Structure 1
């Protein structure tokens, strides 16, 4: 079997059809069929069968899909790391949850790339439940957010303790009778606030906004209550534009983790970021008030793809 055949099969599994895989690769559908046929012949397994207008994978096909994703990911990582030694430029792909991406990732990565100016960073914002998969498929080198549930295959380091406080525009607001305003990801199950919310006697109605900043604006306007990051609304609480509501269990304490592939599979750049996030300089950058300027005017090469 060849890397090209495995890459093709992995894409067929991910997209669910030969036609879609061919379109993604920019080749003909017969070329995809030929690559899969070669794998079938070598492995002695049909890998998938036609079913209900689509395809259903055999147990052998599902097992091959796991190995194919890992092998292709390793090949891509090897290609990047060899290229880094040639160009003296390091690249890093970072996945973060929406809340961390909005409130802390920019300042953190600014500070990191000032320390390592030859490191180019791509940031993608994902749901917490997708972080482990992004690392496993090697589409991300580092995950920032709640600790992924993936056993000892990942190496997670806690780096920032946060708290979420329940806020409203008035102390007379009744939280269990109000809508709860959130950012685009809601209150994710893997997070401490998501687990706390699941223990409430009644599940509140959640209204999601494109950003947590917009949700805070709506909370100030009296449109609902919000379980907001304490350091983000500190100024509002001091000025009285928001007030804390006394609900048992709040404020909710949580931890953000920097997670990389375990067992020595993480790149040098990924390890460098994982070590950097625990430093006092990184903590100061992440907790700086909104609008604080970096110590140097240079803008680092950080590219962002938004969560959807």
Structure 2
């Protein structure tokens, strides 16, 4: 049994045709038949029978198909990692959506690089709609924050991505302590807020985000004032210039101290979820999978919701950049 034979069988099993497999492999159909004949003899099983529509796998063929695909996938992954191995093999290139990059990336990645020997990270904040392409092009190893947006009508899983949720959060409306909204009894209709400036970070309120879908469900289209960061947006709110749909655990201390007030809007808090996304298991890197598992641990969660700002972020043009940890 050879890897070449398994690769040929896996393709035949998936495509259901020796001719289609030969075309995909760019070899002759007799070459495919020869590889399968050697495999059938080695395993002592016919593996498939010909049928009018192509082939039908035997029970043994069905059992082998799953193993063959896994073995071929692991071989491809090993080949890619060896070909791309460098002295900095532990380096991770991370794409993050702006709110996650600003509020959680620093503390999470600081802890990760302390816990994982040899790991170093470089993360840039990008738009959610760019994540799928950046991962598929291998420009980045892992995406953190918003779930990658696949092209319309195409599930992200069919793009060869694996996404796992790792942190739930809530968005709440806040205003400065002296705002008249604080004296109103809730729940207030969101339409009552449309006369106020709404501040947000550089991403604004995306249609694809949980809060964006919530607003769309209400048929509300507020005018959003985007600032360079959500920290700047909160500063504008504290100055009495408007309101903001802020992340609840980020503003909790200021709400409790009375520096900010939570506006009791109907339908809030709006729940949200951050995701860790990589290429599927046969194409991603070991370090990317390590981080994807790490972000779901209790220690990682504690670090992300801890008080204090995210360490290591600086503004570079239209992007945030997190300095290399090692």
Q: TM-score, normalised by structure 1?
A: 0.67
The superposition leaves residues 15-66 of structure 1 with CA deviations (integer Å, 9 ceiling, x where unpaired) of xxxxxxxxxxxxxxxxxxxxxxxxxxxxxxxxxxxxxxxxxxxxxxxxxxxx
How far, CA to CA, are the matches of 1:154 and 1:292 in structure 2? Answer: 27
1:148 aligns with 2:143: no
How far, CA to CA, are the matches of 2:180 and 2:80 in structure 1? Answer: 55
- The within-5 A match list for 1:1-308 is 78=81, 81-83=84-86, 87=87, 89-150=89-150, 151-152=156-157, 153-169=160-176, 170=178, 172-173=180-181, 174-290=192-308, 307-308=318-319
The count of residues paired between Structure 1 and Structure 2 equals 225
The superposition leaves residues 120-147 of structure 1 with CA deviations (integer Å, 9 ceiling, x where unpaired) of 2110100111111110111111101121
Cα shift at 1:242: 1.0
How far, CA to CA, are the matches of 1:122 and 1:88 in structure 2? Answer: 12
| 1:108–1:292 CA distance, 2 compared to 1 (3 A) | closer
How far, CA to CA, are the matches of 1:233 and 1:283 in structure 2? Answer: 17
| 1:214–1:158 CA distance, 2 compared to 1 (3 A) | same
Unmatched runs of 5 consecutive residues or more in structure 2: 1-76, 151-155, 182-191, 320-326
- The CA RMSD over aligned residues, in Å, is 2.6
How far, CA to CA, are the matches of 2:88 and 2:235 in structure 1? Answer: 44
Cα shift at 1:81: 3.9
How far, CA to CA, are the matches of 1:199 and 1:110 in structure 2? Answer: 38
| 1:95–1:306 CA distance, 2 compared to 1 (3 A) | farther
Bigger radius of gyration: 2
- Does the 8 A contact of 1:93 with 1:142 survive in 2? yes
Cα shift at 1:272: 0.3
The superposition leaves residues 197-222 of structure 1 with CA deviations (integer Å, 9 ceiling, x where unpaired) of 22334311111111101100110111
| 1:112–1:122 CA distance, 2 compared to 1 (3 A) | same
| 1:204–1:303 CA distance, 2 compared to 1 (3 A) | closer
How far, CA to CA, are the matches of 2:279 and 2:318 in structure 1? Answer: 22
Greater shift, 133-142 or 170-179, is seen at: 170-179
- Does the 8 A contact of 1:123 with 1:304 survive in 2? no
Unmatched runs of 5 consecutive residues or more in structure 1: 1-73, 294-298
- Does the 8 A contact of 2:103 with 2:309 survive in 1? no
